Amino acid sequence: MPSVWSQLEPLLSRVQKPARYIGCEDGAKAKVVDETLVNWCFVYPDTYEVGLPNQGLQILYEIINEHADATADRSYAPWVDMEALLREHQIPMFSVEHHTPLNEFDVIGFNLSAELTYTNLLNCLDLGGIPIRQSERGNADPLVVVGGHCTYNPEPLADFVDLVVLGDGEEVVSEITAAIASASLGHDSDAGARGRLLEELASVEGVYVPSLYEVTFDGPRTVSMTPMNGAPDLVEKRTIADLGEWPYPKTPLVPLTEVVHDRLNVEVFRGCTRGCRFCQAGMITRPVRERPAEQVRAMVNAGLERSGYDEVSLTSLSTADFSDVSSVVSTLMDDSEEAGAGPVTISLPSLRVDAFGVQIAAQLQRAKRSGLTFAPEAGTWRMRQVINKLIREQDLYDAVEAAYSQGWSRVKLYFLVGLPSETDEDTLGIAEMAKNCVAIGKRHTKRASVTVSVGGFVPKPFTPFQWFGQNTIEELQRKVNLLRDATRRMKGVQLKWHDPKATAVEGLGSRGDRRLGPVIEQVWREGGTFQEWSEYFNLDRWTQALADHGMSLEDIVYRHRTEDELLPWDHLSAGLHKDFLWQEWQEALAEVGLPDCRWTPCYDCGACTGFGIEHVVASATPPAGGSQGTGQDLSGDQGSAPVPVQLQVGGR
Amino acid sequence: MSGGNQPQQTLRIRFTKAGKVRFVSHRDVARLFERALRKLRVPVAYSEGFSPRPKLSFGLALSVGHESDAEYLDLALASPIDVEALPAQLSEALPPGLDVSDAVVLAPGSPSLQQAVVRCDWHMELLGQNRDEIEQTSAQLLAADEILLERERKGKTAVVNVRPAIVSIEIVGPTDNGVAIRVQLATEAVSLRPNEFVGLFDALEGRVRRTHQWMIVDQARLEPIPGPSTRPLLEAAE
């Protein structure tokens, strides 16, 4: 297979961070692209530093490379300086392992984690010498597959992708590989061969082929989605029943250059049952599937030994909920001490908002205690009932008290604004909470500070809020300004916020339909790549492109949907019943919370029953803690005294 | 963590940086060594304080993209180890292109690499000029009393006479793409970086490799770890 390395090498001294383009990671696979095999290239449509740690891609990369009849390389969006040189010298975008041009592969697998990377997907295809529109690709061109959370509404990318994978990719990548192997398109001059392969792939569970659906519209609304040539009416997501059968990545990639999340990552469970109504990840990844504690231990110890990392993150959507998490953590700390390779940090990606969360953090962070992060998400109890993030104010104060009293001096709080039914009182409740947290901190340390980080809410498909009209840019900015004014004179409170303009464009990708394709293409053609990077984000390009194609933010982003409206993703399924989601939407508006179903009877959201599997948890006993842990009665008694929590200090 | 924080032994290590890994930054090389040492369970001494760091001290930074036969690293250990076996073990634990060629125990009180190294030898490939032109420019540079270079530092422009930093220039001969030269440049008092040196020619920079680092001890020229480190010029290392 051709390699562009000799052309690339002299250019590397002319770009920032050339280590992005050389591969050579520990854990990289040497398996060479081979015409007789099915060759995948997994692409993350953002920079190397952002994309390399992506666990989904690392898992699939390993699974494919274990196959006798397939290979997998990786690639990442070249930064703008490299893109300019590639275009100037007419060098195609390449994989980092063998510097093979993208158009030499049989399948390009993109991870879609963020709507603002959509224009980068087009750019990667174009740079890789692949026609951007799927209708213009022939037998010799790679199949373009997308997976990841954004694919639960892949419609905005329908013009550009051949296949969409919904849900867990572990099993389905092999089925796709097998179908491609038997079709052997590269040797078929028959113009219909590619279409037949797509039709065949449409019958694979979890695979959606957008070109096999005819969609009609009436104004801003979708009216019908009609499958053609035997494609299914409803495409269900894939779910692996037992995470324990998939101990991947077994040899995680250790890059030569620094990346985000530059540590060992071990996924401890998939799914979440807390039922936060704004949270798409929590809804679409159900049911909960825990990794056996012994396997977690084995993966952590082997990973640390192999990589030389001094930090491991136990990842999931809510790691403090992992069964018997305290003893798992203790065991890991004992193991690392015994291994004698120097101090090892164990970290959790998110802390639960209660003193129990801090207890675990204290257990983990014996040395450095700089900052802790909590996500109460909303500033009043009313608002938190609406979004079903059932944290009492006291839970947060207990957590903060525990943090400051144990040596942390900085607390970071995450909030959303623009939530359904939000009033200014709710918004200002954020400032009030921050002020109270600083006051608690001041009792312990003069340096106590709170950073409030505010994001604009983007309604997502397959959540109870999928019908809600997103706040306008102006309204989000007004709320940010309210908070800015309120916190301006609060000592020790620092406010940060996400640009409401970017939030609006995220809303486009989140709930737009396939008519957005030409808009994305126009923004890309005008140079709108790296939209996740504030220095390259440009709202005007988006609004102009929308206007040029007769669309508006009003119709796609700000508009409330009605119960009878067909949503652009209604032919796809994350397992959740639409009437469950609608009922949850109504309950939200009625300010009624719904307890965590792991420790209360099933309320039939559809995620388990649809797949004939159940939540896989080692313990049916809720972990200790405040309302976040126990599912205790939240209906009243908001003013009760906090339960004293025994905190472990300095290990055992 | 092994043992106390008082170093029991300090090692000096010489390593190469060649091939693809030459595009990795100085800081990233440090991180690669930290991880390799942890993999091997080498009992590195750690600094005190809230976030203990392994006690590694690198010499003069090598620019991204330049290769080297002679990079050095001083390493404090919390307990003594078998130094003989270390080069091979570390080379195995490091990515291809970073190869440890020697490790010695450093006498207590030895000056640090940053303090001790005063000159470096470089092999450079100059592109875009023929041998005669390069010879001519070299002769002019060596004959000059002053070579003034504008440098920007903290927003201020200063004019520096870099002539004292050029110790010697020797033409090696033609390569596939240009002309190879061997240069000795000073790194203290007035220093000159390889890319600045190439800028004095009407040529482009090809492959650049540091071949030696030199200390002056009692008026004698010594390498931080004595011993030959020679390799044919510009042989691809991939």
Express each pLDDT in A429-482 by its tens digit: 999 999 999 999 999 999 999 999 999 999 999 999 999 999 999 999 999 999
Residue B5, pLDDT score: 52
Residues 6+ apart with CB under 8 A from A317: A271, A272, A274, A279, A281, A282, A285, A350
Strand partners, A311: A345
How many contacts, defined by CB atoms under 8 Å, are there between A and B?
76
- For B65, which of A18, A257, A308 is closest by C-beta distance? A18
- For B35, which of A17, A19, A307 is closest by C-beta distance? A307
Note whether A603 and A615 are within 8 A (CB).
Answer: no
- Quick check: A341 contacting B, CB < 8 Å? yes
Contacts of residue B24 in chain A, CB cutoff 8 Å? 19, 22, 256-257
Contacts of residue B38 in chain A, CB cutoff 8 Å? 308-310, 341-342
Contacts of residue B36 in chain A, CB cutoff 8 Å? 308
CA A19, CA B25: separation in Å to the nearest integer? 8
| Residue A86, Cβ density class (10 Å: 0-12 exposed, 13-18 middle, ≥19 buried) | buried
Residue from B28, B37, B38 to probe the interface with A (highest A Cβ count within 10 Å): B38
Nearest residue of chain B to residue A366 (CA atoms)? B50
CA distances from A356 to A229, A362, A366, A401, A626 (A): 55, 10, 16, 12, 7
Residue from B31, B33, B39 to probe the interface with A (highest A Cβ count within 10 Å): B39
Q: Name the token pair of A201.
A: 């792939």
Nearest residue of chain A to residue B46 (CA atoms)? A342
What is the DSSP secondary-structure string of A94-143?
A: B-TTT--BGGGSSEEEEE---GGGHHHHHHHHHHTT--SSGGG--TTSPE
CB contact under 8 A, B39 and A340: no
CATH number of B9-110: 3.30.70.580
A162 pLDDT tier (thresholds 50, 70, 90):
very high
pLDDT digits (tens, 9 = 90+) for A100-138: 999 999 999 999 999 999 999 999 999 999 999 999 999
Note whether A525 and A498 are within 8 A (CB).
Answer: no
Q: Tens-digit pLDDT profile for chain B (238 aa)?
A: 444 456 689 999 999 999 999 999 999 999 999 999 999 999 999 888 767 788 999 989 999 999 999 999 999 999 999 999 999 999 999 999 999 999 999 988 888 888 889 999 999 999 999 999 999 999 999 999 999 999 888 889 999 999 999 999 999 999 988 999 999 999 988 999 999 999 999 999 999 999 999 998 888 888 999 765 444 433 333 3
pLDDT digits (tens, 9 = 90+) for A196-249: 999 999 999 999 999 999 999 999 999 999 999 999 999 999 999 999 999 999
Interface predicted TM-score (ipTM) of this complex, two decimals? 0.90
Q: How many helices (H) and strands (E) does chain B have?
A: 5, 11
State which amino acid sits at residue A599.
W
Residue A361, pLDDT score: 79
Q: Name the token pair of A422.
A: 């939000």
Which of A366-376 are b and which e, b meaning 16 or more Cβ less than 10 Å from the residue's Cβ?
eeebeebbbbb
Topology of the domain comprising A271-512+568-630: TIM Barrel (3.20.20)
Residue A650, pLDDT score: 33
Residues in chain A: 652
CB contact under 8 A, B39 and A308: yes
- Quick check: B28 contacting A, CB < 8 Å? yes
| Residue A176, Cβ density class (10 Å: 0-12 exposed, 13-18 middle, ≥19 buried) | buried
- Answer yes or no: is pLDDT of A637 > 60: no
CB contact under 8 A, A306 and B39: yes
Topology of the domain comprising A5-218: Rossmann fold (3.40.50)
CA B79, CA B43: separation in Å to the nearest integer? 6
Distance from CA of B24 to the nearest CA of A (A): 5
Contacts of residue A258 in chain B, CB cutoff 8 Å? 27-28, 31
Distance from CA of A103 to the nearest CA of B (A): 24
Strand partners, A451: A412, A494
CATH tag for B115-222 (out of 1.10.260, 2.60.40, 3.30.70, 2.40.30): 3.30.70
Q: What percent of chain A has pLDDT over 90?
A: 77
Note whether A44 and A77 are within 8 A (CB).
Answer: yes
- For A308, which of B38, B46, B96 is closest by C-beta distance? B38
CB contact under 8 A, A369 and B50: yes
CA B82, CA A479: separation in Å to the nearest integer? 64
Closest among A549, A469, A461, A452 to A504, alpha carbons compared: A469
3-state helix vs strand vs coil in chain A, percent to 5 = 40, 15, 45
CA distances from A603 to A129, A273, A307, A429, A634 (A): 50, 11, 43, 31, 18
Residue B2, pLDDT score: 42
CA A524, CA A545: separation in Å to the nearest integer? 10
CB contact under 8 A, B38 and A342: yes
Contacts of residue A368 in chain B, CB cutoff 8 Å? 50-51
Residue A632, pLDDT score: 46
Tell which A residues from 226 to 265 touch B, by Cβ distance under 8 Å.
Answer: 254, 256-258
- Answer yes or no: is pLDDT of A170 > 80: yes
CB contact under 8 A, B31 and A258: yes
Report the 10 Å Cβ neighbour count for B220: 7
> Does B115-222 match B9-110 at the fold level?
yes
CA B158, CA A205: separation in Å to the nearest integer? 68
Note whether A77 and A11 are within 8 A (CB).
Answer: no
**Centroid of chain to Cα A433:** 28
pTM of the model: 0.93
- For A18, which of B23, B34, B36 is closest by C-beta distance? B23
Note whether A117 and A76 are within 8 A (CB).
Answer: no
- Quick check: B92 contacting A, CB < 8 Å? no
Note whether A54 and A315 are within 8 A (CB).
Answer: no
Q: Which residue has the tokens 């009393």?
A: B145
Closest among A613, A606, A513 to A555, alpha carbons compared: A513
Residue from B24, B33, B37, B193 to probe the interface with A (highest A Cβ count within 10 Å): B24
Nearest residue of chain A to residue B65 (CA atoms)? A13
Local structure of B217: helix, strand or coil: strand
CA distances from A250 to A63, A66, A264, A299 (A): 10, 11, 11, 7
More confident residue, A371 or A28: A28
Closest among A442, A426, A322, A421 to A376, alpha carbons compared: A426
Domain extents in chain A: 5-218, 271-512+568-630
What is the DSSP secondary-structure string of B46-100?
A: B--SSS--B-EEE-SPPPTT-EEEEEEEEEEESS---TTTHHHHHHHHSPTTEEE
Average pLDDT over residues A286-310: 95
Distance from CA of B148 to the nearest CA of A (A): 26
- Quick check: A478 contacting B, CB < 8 Å? no
Note whether B63 and B120 are within 8 A (CB).
Answer: no
Contacts of residue A303 in chain B, CB cutoff 8 Å? none
